[in-house]
Amino acid sequence: MATPAVLKGIRLWPRTLRARLFIILLAGLAIAHAMSFAALFSERYFAARSVMFNTLENDVATSIAILDRLPAAERAGWLDQLARGSYRFVLGPGIPGNPVLEPDDAEVASKIQAAIGAKYPVEVQSIPGAGRHLQAHLRLNDGEPLTIDVTPRGVMPVADWLPYVLVAQLSLLVLCSWFAMRQAIRPLANLAKAADTLDPNSNTPRLSETGPTEVANAATAFNAMRDRIAQYLEERVQILAAISHDLQTPITRMKLRAEMAEDSVDKDKLVQDLGEVERLVKEGVAYARSAHGKEENASRVDLASFIESLACDYQDTGKAVTIGELSDGAIVTRPHALRRVLTNLIDNALKFAGGAEIEVQRHDGTVLITVLDRGPGIPDGQLQAVLQPFFRLEQSRNRDTGGTGLGLAIALQLATAIGATLTLRNRDGGGLAAEIALRQ
């Protein structure tokens, strides 16, 4: 069982490849950047130590000799001139301190003692307080006490503008890392999007085959796979169309022979069965042809007149087809394919509900054509399944209704071919709503 620490680490690690690569690249660059600055400051530290020790060795002895030869009254005036960045001279005994020194302070003390030599006995003490602070006590030849006040510096002072440079460099690292990840992941995202929307029968654009060699090769392979799938589907549709077409002739001959036979119960059943087979074959041909709905040329039609004409055709035959909300305006579509889609949906509503209502709405550049009924509806778990070819519901939509299981599949196929989407949903209060969304 995973520990809380492991689970916390898993939650903190991002799930997307873009974020993971971004973090890895940024972390690597940031660490390399930090190591560069660490090496720089380390070099500055050793340089500062070297300068300080060289100053102590070269200047301290000279400064003490000068103060020793000056009259006592003039020594105070020379103190500021002889002071350096890491030490200064003080006339007097100084501040009492601790003679026990840390290793770094002992090294400084040894440098002072080596520089002064044996002529001036010196005692180095550590002064308590914030930071490193040493004082070397000695006496000049006339007996006056002299103190060397030392404040060793670890590194040289940092310029005020350096933090801004660091922030600018870090921002540049973040920007470059983000841009690199964007360039690296974009082809993968495009490939995933193309795979998600893959439909050889739709008019979706092919994946661009430009860019780096690896990206272009992957796009070329994907487009080739798409073409092969489209070819396989085309072959299957052609086989279905050919079989369905060839079956019509023997079925017609069988019906003629059955009708010429003597009247009997078996004759009626045989004629009824042959009628169902004939309808199934015709639906198969229609489904095969629906795959080529995009071959029809698009034209501009008045949508209100188009819907009213379709409803009137049904009303003239005594069918209960009404028109609800009807938005006017023209659309560009393939009218024969759209008419077949609506006809299948209306026939479906008439078959299972006895009536249908057509509504047309416009929302944000999308035309919504909805066929409504008050029939038994479809179980929510099978709303997508009924759009598949030859699918039948077990109860309300069985063979007794005369359905072939291809009506909604043909409607979906044609809707896709004209660039529309077909959605089924159950209505509040019972019934089904079949919605066609056409993007204009």
Average pLDDT over residues 408-434: 89
Residue 46 lies in a domain: yes
pLDDT range class, residue 367, cuts 50, 70, 90:
very high
Neighbours of 284 (CB within 10 A): 22
Task: Give the torsion sign (CA, 336, 339, 345, 346).
Answer: negative
Residue that wins the pLDDT comparison between 14 and 36: 36
Residue that wins the pLDDT comparison between 282 and 259: 259
> What pLDDT is recorded for position 402?
47
Query: Strands 330-333 and 366-372: what pairing?
Result: unpaired
Tens digits of per-residue pLDDT, 185-196? 788 778 878 877
Token pair in block for residue 48: 């500062």
Q: Please, are residues 287 and 293 in contact by the beta-carbon 8 Å criterion?
A: no
Residue with tokens 């030490």: 87
Question: Do 310 and 187 belong together in one domain?
Answer: no
Question: Do 317 and 181 belong together in one domain?
Answer: no
CA dist 301 and 330 (Å) reads: 5
Residue-range definition of the domain harbouring residue 171: 17-194
Q: Residues with Cβ < 8 Å from 239, sequence gap 6 or more?
A: none
Q: Is the pLDDT at 356 greater than 70, yes or no?
A: yes
> What pLDDT is recorded for position 434?
94
Question: Do 188 and 305 belong together in one domain?
Answer: no
66-79 burial: b if 16+ Cβ within 10 Å, else e: ebbeeeeeebeeee
What whole-number percentage of the chain has pLDDT above 90? 14
Average pLDDT over residues 330-349: 90
pLDDT range class, residue 364, cuts 50, 70, 90:
confident
> What pLDDT is recorded for position 398?
44
> What pLDDT is recorded for position 355?
93
CA dist 275 and 244 (Å) reads: 14
Q: Is the pLDDT at 141 greater than 60, yes or no?
A: yes
State whether residue 435 is helix, strand or coil: strand
Question: Do 303 and 188 belong together in one domain?
Answer: no
Residue that wins the pLDDT comparison between 439 and 371: 371
Question: Do 32 and 144 belong together in one domain?
Answer: yes
Residue 315 lies in a domain: yes
What whole-number percentage of the chain has pLDDT above 70? 86
Question: Do 319 and 181 belong together in one domain?
Answer: no
Query: Strands 420-426 and 432-439: what pairing?
Result: antiparallel
Among the candidates 148, 172, 194, a domain finishes at 194
Residue 248 lies in a domain: no
CA dist 176 and 145 (Å) reads: 62
Residue 163 lies in a domain: yes
Residue that wins the pLDDT comparison between 255 and 309: 309
Residue 205 lies in a domain: no
> What pLDDT is recorded for position 295?
63
Q: Please, are residues 418 and 351 in contact by the beta-carbon 8 Å criterion?
A: no
Question: Do 40 and 169 belong together in one domain?
Answer: yes
Instruction: Report the CATH number that the domain containing residue 421 is assigned in CATH.
Output: 3.30.565.10
Q: Please, are residues 109 and 134 in contact by the beta-carbon 8 Å criterion?
A: yes
pLDDT range class, residue 203, cuts 50, 70, 90:
low
Q: Is the pLDDT at 237 greater than 80, yes or no?
A: no
Tens digits of per-residue pLDDT, 383-406? 888 888 777 775 444 445 545 677
Q: Is the pLDDT at 294 greater than 70, yes or no?
A: no
Residue that wins the pLDDT comparison between 432 and 63: 432
State whether residue 112 is helix, strand or coil: helix
Residue that wins the pLDDT comparison between 206 and 321: 321
Q: Is the pLDDT at 156 greater than 60, yes or no?
A: no
State whether residue 388 is helix, strand or coil: coil
Tens digits of per-residue pLDDT, 78-127? 888 888 777 888 888 888 888 878 887 787 788 778 778 777 888 888 88
Q: Is the pLDDT at 7 greater than 50, yes or no?
A: no
Among the candidates 148, 173, 194, a domain finishes at 194
Residue 286 lies in a domain: no
Average pLDDT over residues 135-140: 86
> What pLDDT is recorded for position 374?
92
Residue 260 lies in a domain: no
Q: Specify whether the backbone of 94 is left (phi greater than 0), alpha (psi in -120 to 50) or beta.
A: left
Helix or strand run (H / E) with residue 327: none
Q: Residues with Cβ < 8 Å from 437, sequence gap 6 or more?
A: 366, 367, 368, 420, 421, 423
Among the candidates 168, 194, 220, a domain finishes at 194
Predicted TM-score (pTM) of this structure: 0.49
Residue that wins the pLDDT comparison between 184 and 147: 147
Tell me how many domains the chain contains.
2
pLDDT range class, residue 236, cuts 50, 70, 90:
confident
Residue 174 lies in a domain: yes
> What pLDDT is recorded for position 153?
66
Most confident of the ranges 9-23, 81-95, 324-338 = 324-338
pLDDT range class, residue 315, cuts 50, 70, 90:
very high
Q: Is the pLDDT at 311 greater than 90, yes or no?
A: yes
Question: Do 326 and 185 belong together in one domain?
Answer: no
Neighbours of 286 (CB within 10 A): 20
Average pLDDT over residues 364-386: 89
